A = this chain, B = another copy of it.
């Protein structure tokens, strides 16, 4: 069946009431009953939940063949826990047919690619799929199609029961002996742990893994003892130095800075740019730089940001410290400055869960109150559909993250991206994979010009009034093709290697196995 973004979704995936994507706001207002999480009655005085090893915790929690285990990625490329636990499950305990449901995967979890190739891991549910794991999935080595969700889509799937987790292993920088756990105050801090909260509420069993045991009560904390079965202390849970990846660093490239400046100009031209406005940037190259230029507009106009949302870097913390931001609603931290800032400002730098952040299936996530979001793209097509998941070779090497959530929830979604990257056109006729539907994207800022989605005549008027030049997205695409040539179509096999869910749980796109190059 062809869905609302023109993608062919194989009928065999449309079982159990699963639908194809039918356009934005399709599910808005519908009621449903959430899944009922498993609980255990603890009424005795209890000294401690600390167990001697990961293996002991796995055994106590009934680890078994065919189960689904979960992890979070607040340590990003510095995460030790996912690999550590999977090694115990696969190599020590000899378990098989496992599904790994995590919030993102990258090179820190390369070991899992081996387990996929060995057939021990047969399912992957994630937002990001990068590094060797992306390669083996794209090569068709995972037994079942991977399921790719946005950061808001994941808690939706957990809360509706679509994703049932047997055991969640939650890496924590500190925990007390009862399982109150957080990402600050330890030997290795990761900051906000918003990704792990839904898992802690809904997994049948919850194991906190920490390297820094602190006195009870380790509060306030995002992970609460009422949800935790066991605590395990290991020598190190992760390397904070590897949290700040290159994607999360601010750009010094003059082309990126120029785009960032134009983006800020677009923002300042709209009626949403007023006292108390709200704002989010992604981690892509120029996105973070927008903050810098926005600051000047705020000072000039004498207005402050009400709240900033999503992942936090040091630069937005600086903006708060200058008195220009009211609250930071933080799902994850991108650098040590943001981690320390979270710890030091419990009244205004606030940790939130991804359900609060971006879940389209609750009574009001924060993305619905967002004025502006500035996001990057690997590709964007002339329907404004964005791809942030697959490379131009069709291989999985990205993550929808909060991209589709913030794009749909916000009043003004701006994509900032260079027109071409090397020999590849970023603005193209048809993206390899639709990760954010075009009807959620409002403005495109490139180094060769700005385009506004024709569905937003109000924004076109804003730009005109502010004398900001803009062109059609077709003009930008044609310019890109003139610069680097028309791209060849990718060649695929029939086999679906990954299913990409829209944030409402419908199927937005599928990723197929890449046809091997003929030598």
Interface residues of A, Cβ cutoff 8 Å to B: 24-25, 27-46, 49, 159, 161, 178-179, 206, 215-217, 219-220, 224-229, 276, 306-307, 326-327, 329, 346-347, 350, 352, 355-356, 359-366, 368-370, 408-411, 503-504
Contact assessment for B43 and A39 in the assembled complex, using a CB-CB cutoff below 8 Å: no
A41-B504, A369-B46 known; A306+B32 contact, CB < 8 A? no
Contact residue among B35, B220, B369 (Cβ-Cβ distance under 8 Å from A216): B369
A219-B327, A329-B219, A346-B347 known; A227+B39 contact, CB < 8 A? no
Which of chain B's residues has its CB closest to A229's CB?
B363
Name 18 interchain pairs, CB-CB below 8 A, sorted by A.
A27-B43, A29-B42, A35-B36, A36-B161, A39-B159, A40-B363, A43-B368, A43-B409, A44-B368, A45-B410, A179-B363, A206-B363, A215-B276, A217-B307, A219-B352, A225-B356, A225-B363, A225-B365
Q: Nearest Cβ in chain B — how far from A353, in angstroms?
A: 8
A227-B362, A228-B364, A350-B219 known; A38+B31 contact, CB < 8 A? yes
A2 to B354 alpha-carbon distance, docked (Å):
49
Q: Nearest Cβ in chain B — how far from A501, in angstroms?
A: 14
A514 to B229 alpha-carbon distance, docked (Å):
46
Contact assessment for B44 and A33 in the assembled complex, using a CB-CB cutoff below 8 Å: no
A369 to B225 alpha-carbon distance, docked (Å):
11
Contact residue among B30, B44, B226, B409 (Cβ-Cβ distance under 8 Å from A41): B30
Q: Nearest Cβ in chain B — how far from A171, in angstroms?
A: 19
Inter-chain pairs besides A27-B43, A31-B39, A178-B369, 10 sampled, C-beta below 8 Å: A32-B39, A33-B37, A33-B39, A34-B37, A41-B360, A41-B362, A219-B350, A220-B346, A226-B363, A226-B365
Contact assessment for B45 and A28 in the assembled complex, using a CB-CB cutoff below 8 Å: no
Best-surrounded residue of A34, A45, A216 (most CB of chain B within 10 A): A45
Contact assessment for A365 and B32 in the assembled complex, using a CB-CB cutoff below 8 Å: no
Contact residue among B29, B42, B220, B225 (Cβ-Cβ distance under 8 Å from A40): B29
List of B residues within 8 angstroms of A32 by Cβ? 38-39, 41
Copies of this protein, total: 2
Q: Nearest Cβ in chain B — how far from A340, in angstroms?
A: 14
Contact assessment for A38 and B42 in the assembled complex, using a CB-CB cutoff below 8 Å: no
List of B residues within 8 angstroms of A350 by Cβ? 219-220
Which of chain B's residues has its CB closest to A200's CB?
B363
Contact assessment for B39 and A25 in the assembled complex, using a CB-CB cutoff below 8 Å: no
Which of chain B's residues has its CB closest to A309's CB?
B217
Contact residue among B33, B364, B408 (Cβ-Cβ distance under 8 Å from A36): B33
A117 to B87 alpha-carbon distance, docked (Å):
66
A115 to B225 alpha-carbon distance, docked (Å):
41
Q: Which 4 residue pairs are nearest across A and B when measured between Cβ atoms?
A: A43-B360, A226-B362, A36-B36, A225-B364
Contact assessment for A44 and B30 in the assembled complex, using a CB-CB cutoff below 8 Å: no
List of B residues within 8 angstroms of A362 by Cβ? 39-42, 226-227
A220-B350, A329-B217 known; A226+B39 contact, CB < 8 A? no
A152 to B168 alpha-carbon distance, docked (Å):
26
A24 to B41 alpha-carbon distance, docked (Å):
12
A170 to B366 alpha-carbon distance, docked (Å):
21
A33-B36, A36-B36, A329-B219 known; A42+B360 contact, CB < 8 A? yes
Contact assessment for B366 and A217 in the assembled complex, using a CB-CB cutoff below 8 Å: yes
List of B residues within 8 angstroms of A409 by Cβ? 43-45
Q: Nearest Cβ in chain B — how far from A29, in angstroms?
A: 7
Which of chain B's residues has its CB closest to A26's CB?
B43
List of B residues within 8 angstroms of A24 by Cβ? 43
Contact assessment for B28 and A44 in the assembled complex, using a CB-CB cutoff below 8 Å: yes
List of B residues within 8 angstroms of A306 by Cβ? 215-217
Contact assessment for A43 and B31 in the assembled complex, using a CB-CB cutoff below 8 Å: no
Which of chain B's residues has its CB closest to A356's CB?
B226
Contact residue among B216, B329, B352 (Cβ-Cβ distance under 8 Å from A307): B216
Contact residue among B227, B347, B364 (Cβ-Cβ distance under 8 Å from A178): B364
Contact assessment for A46 and B227 in the assembled complex, using a CB-CB cutoff below 8 Å: no
A310 to B39 alpha-carbon distance, docked (Å):
23
List of B residues within 8 angstroms of A503 by Cβ? 43
Which of chain B's residues has its CB closest to A204's CB?
B31
Which of chain B's residues has its CB closest to A225's CB?
B364
List of B residues within 8 angstroms of A355 by Cβ? 226
List of B residues within 8 angstroms of A225 by Cβ? 356, 363-366
Contact assessment for A44 and B31 in the assembled complex, using a CB-CB cutoff below 8 Å: no
Q: Nearest Cβ in chain B — how far from A309, in angstroms?
A: 9
